[in-house]
Structure 1
Amino acid sequence: MVTAAQRRSAFNALHVKGKAFLMPNPFDIGSARILDGMRFDALATSSAGFAWARGVRDAEGLIGRDDALAHAADIISVTSLPVNGDLENGFGDSPEDVVETIKGAIEVGLAGCSIEDYSQDPKIPFYPLDLAVERIKAASAYVKENAPEFVLTARSEGPVKSEHELDQTIKRLNAFKDAGADCVYAPMLKDKAQITKILGAVDAPLNILAGRPNFHLTRKELGDLGVARISIGSGLARLAYGAFTAAAEDMKDGGSFGCFDRDPSAEMPVNFEDFMKAKP
């Protein structure tokens, strides 16, 4: 049986510039079993996917630390792959809150986690840089003392539409790297020129979010640029819930049931039920 330390070591080793390893995000045990069966390099939780499964909105404080860590433990329990945790803002504003979350993440067996600078306060949506840095610094210090191969990812959530915004993102990512982050992540990035600029300005493994509309760079292209890691975020959960909602809408408003004509096992190269646990 693979140990938590082995998962951390394997996950840490994946973070190489240009590797562009793919880390999809299951949103429940069933989707985790499917992705485990396909043998990706690693998996990650999705705060949005889990929130939707619980019937609540993401990033509004409706999912607590204990719930998120219990969900992560569920995902870990059905895979031997390393699992990264999407742990939002660390479930609190202070560096001490973030450390408590990191402690829990290591205890449940996560191989790494991300901490974002989005405060969930609509009046001040992003933490001031000095506080954001102190949060990462405290998290890094705890990791280095207790689980050195645990991968701490720091996220800069701000917009990157203008050159000024992109420069501010670079400033934050560099500050997070200097504070001890092992990987950096700016979810708003999707333009090739912007990604190239970030990679040239920030000397740390970079995660790119690919699971969203109008993202047209391939894994090879991202690897050639120097991207270390590709995550899917809520993309798979959004597709699943979107297909479910569209089928329900067809039934209710159209009164027809053509949405069930498609036979997944006949039309898809992989049948999802093949990955589900069967009776011995």
Structure 2
Amino acid sequence: MSVDRLRALHRGRADGSPLVLPGPWDAASARVFAAAGFEGLATPSHGVSESLGYRDGEAPADEMFAAVARIVRAVGSGLPVTADIERGYGLPPEEIVERLLATGAVGCNLEDSADGVLLEPQRQADWLSEVHAAAGGRVFLNARIDTYVRGAADPLAEAVERGRLYAAAGAECLYPIGAPPKDVGLIAQESGMPVNAYCATGGPGEPGSPHGPGVRELGEAGASRVTFGGDLHARAVAAVETLARRLREG
């Protein structure tokens, strides 16, 4: 699947109709989401890590890239896949790009914190610029902004500042994870960029829940893209736990 297809899916979205990318954690879940008719998939590092037997952030690079490759292979070349590869596992930008492309994925998330601490914005922008240059247009770069989840004093103001820097560095979408709907819209306006919003309701089409706003609300607020992090994997595990209890109870 061409990266140009993934780029096109982020543009010209009608209000309230963002690009919805569910997060498969293995080949079987990827096939389910593909069969449901989604326009693309976004692998979550959290869900993939847990499916491999690791905590979030602890899966080795080799295993993460291999898991992404299995997911891409499971859905074939007709569906674009973008991968959450955390902060690149300490690899040089050129190797990040080549290993990602070897999986068949055409996009990635890269985050701007390490060990729970926000990185200096210009330092992150310079690194993203190196990844962008190494990609040479072959990878759709989604820059995650962690100001809302890492205790920034003014998460909106810092997200806007970072968003501008990351856009200038070559990012094609901004991902202010944890941003409320009103801030999603402001970040989109200030940056002029597609914005990826995180949805914790458990699935597309669900109304708002105690966990947060739903897909439509995020789209109406200004999100061009909605993803679910490890939430879908967590719901699947909860369903298996319920089944296990029933089996145990006879």
- 2:183 maps to 194
Match of 1:67 in 2: 63
Amino acid at match of 1:50: V
| Equivalent of 1:243 in 225, 228, 239 | 239
Equivalent pair of 2:143/2:175 in contact (CA under 8 Å): yes
The one-letter code of the counterpart of 2:173 is: C
Q: Which amino acid in structure 2 is aligned with residue 72 of structure 1?
A: V
- Supply the distance in 1 between the matched residues of 2:239 and 2:7 (Cα, whole angstroms): 35
Instruction: Please name the residue that 2:212 is paired with.
Output: 215
- Contact 2:176–2:184 (Cα < 8 Å) also in 1: no
Q: TM-score normalised to the size of structure 1?
A: 0.77
Does the aligned pair in 1 maintain the 2:82–2:108 contact within 8 Å? yes
Task: Find the aligned partners of 2:83 and 2:240 in 1 and give their Cα distance.
Answer: 26
Task: Give the structure 1 partner of residue 111 of structure 2.
Answer: 116
Distance 1:135 1:90 in 2: 11
Distance change (3 Å), C-alpha of 1:99 and 1:149: closer
| % identity of equivalent residues | 27
Kindly indicate whether residue 244 of structure 2 is the aligned counterpart of residue 230 of structure 1. Answer: no
Determine the structure 1 residue equivalent to 2:120: 128
Task: Select between 46-55 and 96-105 the one with higher mean Cα deviation.
Answer: 96-105
The secondary structure found in structure 2 opposite 1:78 is helix
Query: Corresponding residue for 1:31?
Result: 29
Gaps of 5+ in 2: 202-209
Work out the CA distance in 2 between the residues paired with 1:154 and 1:162.
17
| One-letter code aligned to 1:202 | S
Looking at structure 1, the residues matched to 139 and 48 of structure 2 have their Cα atoms a distance apart, in angstroms, of 22
Secondary structure of the equivalent of 1:91?
Answer: helix
Calculate the aligned-residue CA RMSD, in Å.
2.1
The answer as to whether partners of 2:142 and 2:171 remain within 8 angstroms in 1 is yes
Whichever residue aligns with residue 140 of structure 2, its letter is: V
- Asked whether the 8 Å contact 1:18–1:226 carries over to 2, the reply is no
Cα deviation 1:207-226 (Å, max 9, x = unaligned): 1111346222342x433333
Partner of 1:142: 134
Counting only pairs closer than 5 Å after superposition, residues 249-260 of structure 1 correspond to structure 2 as 249=245, 256-257=249-250
Instruction: Name which of 54, 64, 81 aligns with 2:79.
Output: 81
1:147-173 per-residue CA deviation (whole Å, 9 max, x = no partner) reads x25211111112278872211111111
Q: Distance in 1 between matches of 2:181 and 2:49?
A: 30
Deviation at 1:230, TM superposition (A): 1.0
Aligned to 2:9: 14
Q: Does the CA-based 8 Å contact 1:23-1:44 persist in structure 2? A: yes
Answer with 1 or 2: which has the greater Rg.
1
